[in-house]
Amino acid sequence: MSVREVHSGRRYRLTNGYFTDQVLNLSTSDHRSIIRHGFHGGDNQKWEFLETNDGWYIKNVSTGLYVAVEGPRNSDAEYANWTKVVGSQEPFKWHLHLEVGPGAALAPVFRVQVPRSDKRLEFGLNGATLDGIVCLYCSPGVHQRWSLVEFRRVMVIAGVDNDRGAGAAVAHRFAGEGYAIALVDTPNNSLDRLQRELSSISGVEAATFLLQSYSAQAIVEVWESIKKRFNGSSYEIRVGIWNSPRPERKRFLDITPDEIEQSTQANIIAAVSFARQAILAFRENTSLESGSRKYGTLIFTGGTESLQINAFAGTSSLFQCALRFLSQTLNKEFGPDNIHVAHVILGDFSSFGPRSEREGSEDLKQTAESIAKSYLHLVGQDRSAWTWELDLRPAQSPYSRTLGAEIISLLARVDGPPV
C-alpha cells in the first residue's frame, strides 16, 4: 500500500508496528483520550482518512472527533516530546510517510507526522503516566510505525447476466470505489469472466456465489456463504442489488403454467428472500455510512412495465409491478431505521427504435456505464433527501414511441413482419 492507495473518505484501523496486537483507540471512558488497545472492531477503533490539499485529517467514526495534538506549539514553533494526542472537535492536519529501506516491515507501514515538525505519532512507553498513551516523539523508532487496514464495504449483486451488461458495469463501478464485490447468479460464463476481470484489478476483491435455484432456501444459503467469505470486523455489507431475471414477453395464451411458476419463484419468492437477507445484514452494521448516514442500501432493478402495461407483457408486467410495490413498502418500513430501499426502472435496451437507428444516434442509446453511475449515486444519497425510484431511459424515448416499437417488434417475431 502506497500513500496513493490511502483513499480519502474510507475507513481504516491503525495497528502499531511494535505492539502488533494493539490499535489506535479512542477511549470510551472520556471520549477524548487516544490510547492503545487490543483490536475488537468497535467504531471507536475505526478512523476515516480525509485528504486535504497538503495532508490528511484522521476522524474517529464513533464520535466524529479528529486526531489532534493537545495544546499549542512552544516558543520554538515546535511541540515537545511526549505531547499527548487527543480527540478534538477541530480538524488537525497530518502527513503520511511510507516507510522505506531495510528497516521497513514486510507489510507497508507509515509514519504519521506533524507538518513542519520532526514529531511523529507513537505509543508512549516511558513511565506509568505515558504507558499506553498516544503521543508525539521525534526519534523514528518502531513505535512510530503504523499499518493501515481498510474496513472494506461489500456490495452484493444478484443477477449480473440479466441486463445486457449493466450488472457488470455496476460491479466495476463499485469496485472502483473500494467495495469488495459479491457476484451472485446461476452458473454462466459471464459470471466467471466478470470475476476474473475484477480480480485482475489491483486492490479489488471479488468472489462468485452460485445459485443452484431461485428458491428462498437457495438465497439464504448464498448469503451464508457471502458472510463466511467476507467475515470479520474488517468487512461491512453495505449494498445489495437485485437484478431479477425478466420473464420473456409472450402472448398471454402462450404462457404455460410451468413458466408462471418459474417466474413467480425467480421474481417474487427469491426477491423477497434476497431483500430479507440484505436488510438483516445491514442491521448488523454498527455505524452509519459517513456522508450518506445510513446503514445500507437495497436496490431492485425493474422495467418499464412496472409503470406502463404494454401488449404482450404477459407475466412480465405482473412480476415487475410486484417488485416495484415490494421496494416501496420496504422503503417505508425500513427508511426510519436508516436503511435505504430504491427501485430503478431500466427502459428495455431493445425498445428504443430500430437497431440501425439506435447505433446512429447518441440520443437513443442507453449505456451500461451511465446506469452504473446512477446506482452509485443512489447509494451515496444522504438520508435527509433520498430517492425511492429512478426511471432511466435515453433522451429520446417517449412512452408512445417505445410502445409502438415494442408492438412492431413483437408482431414481427410472432406473426412475421407487418404488412
Residues facing residue 146 across a β-bridge: 16, 110
Dist. CA 243–CA 236, nearest whole Å: 21
Q: Which of 104-118, 231-245, 270-284 has the lowest mean pLDDT?
A: 104-118
Decide if 321 contacts 308 (C-beta within 8 A): no
**Could you give the CA distance from residue 181 to residue 206 in angstroms, rounded to a whole number?**
5
Cβ–Cβ < 8 Å for 198, 172: yes
Give me the domain span that covers residue 137: 3-150
How far apart (Å, rounded) are the C-alpha atoms in residues 267 and 206? 25
Query: CATH number of the domain that 28 lies in?
Result: 2.80.10.50
- How many of the other CB atoms lie within 10 Å of CB of 177? 14
Q: Please give the distance of CA 276 from its chain centroid, rounded to a whole number.
A: 18
* pLDDT mean over 365-377: 89
Domain boundary among 117, 150, 183: 150
* Band of pLDDT at residue 374, cut at 50, 70 and 90: very high
The per-residue pLDDT for 109 is 86
pLDDT at residue 100, rounded to an integer: 66
CA dihedral 329, 334, 336, 340 (to 10 degrees): -90
pLDDT in tens, 73-109: 887 778 888 899 999 999 999 999 988 654 444 457 8
Mean pLDDT of the chain: 84
| Cβ-based neighbours of 374, under 8 Å, separated by 6 or more | 344, 390, 392
Which three cell numbers, joined as nine digits, stand for 40?
A: 475488537
Q: Exposed (0-12), middle (13-18) or buried (19+): which is 179, by Cβ within 10 Å?
A: buried
Distance (Å, whole) CA 191 – CA 187: 7
Point out the least confidently predicted range of 237-241, 272-276, 321-325, 398-402.
Answer: 398-402
384 in the same domain as 408: yes
Average pLDDT over residues 138-153: 87
Residues 241, 373, single domain; the answer is yes
How many domains does the structure of the chain reveal? 2
Look at residue 376 and tell me whether its pLDDT is greater than 90.
yes
Q: 127 and 195 in one domain?
A: no
Same-domain status, 111 and 166? no
**The pLDDT of residue 314:** 65
More confident residue, 100 or 214: 214
Quote the crossing angle between the two packed helices 270-283 and 216-229, to the nearest 10°.
30
Q: What is the model's pLDDT at position 260?
A: 86
* CB neighbours of residue 52 within 10 Å: 11
Same domain, 140 and 183: no
Give the residue with greater pLDDT, 317 vs 268.
Answer: 268
Q: Is the separation of the CB atoms in 68 and 85 below 8 Å?
A: yes
Instruction: Classify burial at 260, counting beta carbons within 10 Å of its beta carbon; exposed 0-12, middle 13-18, buried 19 or more.
Output: middle
Q: Is the separation of the CB atoms in 183 and 194 below 8 Å?
A: yes
Q: Do 128 and 14 fall within a single domain?
A: yes
Q: Which of 101, 128, 150 is the last residue of a domain?
A: 150
Most distant pair of Cα atoms in the chain: their distance: 95
Q: Are residues 135 and 179 in the same domain?
A: no
Counting Cβ atoms within 10 Å, is residue 81 exposed (0-12), middle (13-18) or buried (19+)?
middle
Q: Which range (16-30, 114-128, 271-285, 356-370) has the least confidence?
A: 356-370
394: domain CATH number is 3.40.50.720
pLDDT value at position 416? 53
pLDDT in tens, 300-341: 998 877 777 666 666 777 888 889 999 999 999 999 999 999
> Of 95, 125, 150, which residue is a domain's last?
150
Over residues 284-297, the pLDDT tens digits come to: 998 888 778 899 99
Distance (Å, whole) CA 31 – CA 63: 8
**Selection from 326, 329, 344 nearest residue 381 by Cα:** 344
Model pLDDT, residue 308: 72
User: Is 404's pLDDT higher than 80?
Assistant: no
Quick one: how far is CA 307 from the chain centroid?
28
**Main-chain phi, psi angles of 115, to 5 degrees:** -60, 145
pLDDT at 293: 87
Q: Which residue has the higher pLDDT, 201 or 281?
A: 281
pLDDT at 276 over 80: yes
Q: What is the DSSP string of 109-151?
A: -EEEE-TTSS-EEEE--SSTTTTTBEEEESS--GGG-EEEEE-
CA gap 180, 193 in Å, rounded:
17
242 and 381 assigned to the same domain: yes
Note whether 127 and 199 are same-domain residues. Answer: no
pTM: 0.80
Same domain, 123 and 237: no
* pLDDT at residue 103 in the model: 46
Are 214 and 310 members of one domain? yes
